[in-house]
Amino acid sequence: MALICHEFRGNRYSSPLLSFCAMLSVKPYTKTWKEPGNYNSCLSGVIWVVQLIIFHASACLEKAELGDTLERIEQYCGQFLKQDTETPMGEILGWRLLLFTVSKEVVGPHQTQWDVDEKVLTYWDVDLHMDHVPRLLLSDF
């Protein structure tokens, strides 16, 4: 609950949860960004797990006779699960909304990639060797 229930007051990446979500945005093998729809699915999973954690914590507190589950859930959600709050979940909910908008726009699914030696840039089936760049710049295309 400590990861969920804290305010970062402007320094987003002081939150381990936000740092973890930022890491989720990168494909580990290619070191490229995930597509908006795929990253959005990751964030949806994080949101779902956080909701389960809040439910579990609230139920445990009721079991210990420290309040009503539904009242506690409303309290946690009102304080930490709103887009307009400077909390990790407020930020994640904002990112998710932005990704819904971006994924509707035209975003090409293909990205350029470097070879292992970083001497050839490939886009689809077109290779650009770095030693060809000076000739390309001098040409009229």
Residue type present at position 35: E
Claim to verify: residue 42 and residue 96 sit in the same structural domain: yes
Claim to verify: residue 90 and residue 118 sit in the same structural domain: no
**Is the model's pLDDT at 114 over the cut of 90?**
no
Claim to verify: residue 26 and residue 71 sit in the same structural domain: yes
Claim to verify: residue 89 and residue 135 sit in the same structural domain: no
Claim to verify: residue 70 and residue 30 sit in the same structural domain: yes
Residue 50 lies in a domain: yes
Residue 1 lies in a domain: no
Claim to verify: residue 48 and residue 70 sit in the same structural domain: yes
Segment 6-25 shows an average pLDDT of 84
User: How many distinct structural domains can be found in the chain?
Assistant: 2
pTM of the predicted structure, to 2 decimals: 0.68
pLDDT-above-70 percentage for the chain: 94
Residue 85 lies in a domain: yes
Angle at 6 between CA 3 and CA 11, to 5 degrees: 100
Claim to verify: residue 132 and residue 75 sit in the same structural domain: no
Confidence (pLDDT) at 38: 85
- Which class for 63: exposed (0-12), middle (13-18), buried (19 or more C-beta within 10 A)? exposed
Please, which residues have CB within 8 angstroms of residue 45's CB and are 6 or more apart in sequence?
none
Residue 49 lies in a domain: yes
Residues 62-111: pLDDT tens digits? Answer: 999 998 999 999 999 888 888 888 889 999 999 998 888 877 775 566 67
Radius of gyration of the chain (CA): 22
Residues 36-58: pLDDT tens digits? Answer: 888 888 999 999 999 999 999 99
In this predicted model, which residue has the larger pLDDT, 115 or 93?
93
Claim to verify: residue 115 and residue 67 sit in the same structural domain: no
Residue 76 lies in a domain: yes
Claim to verify: residue 44 and residue 19 sit in the same structural domain: yes
Domain boundaries, position 97 = 12-107
Confidence (pLDDT) at 60: 93
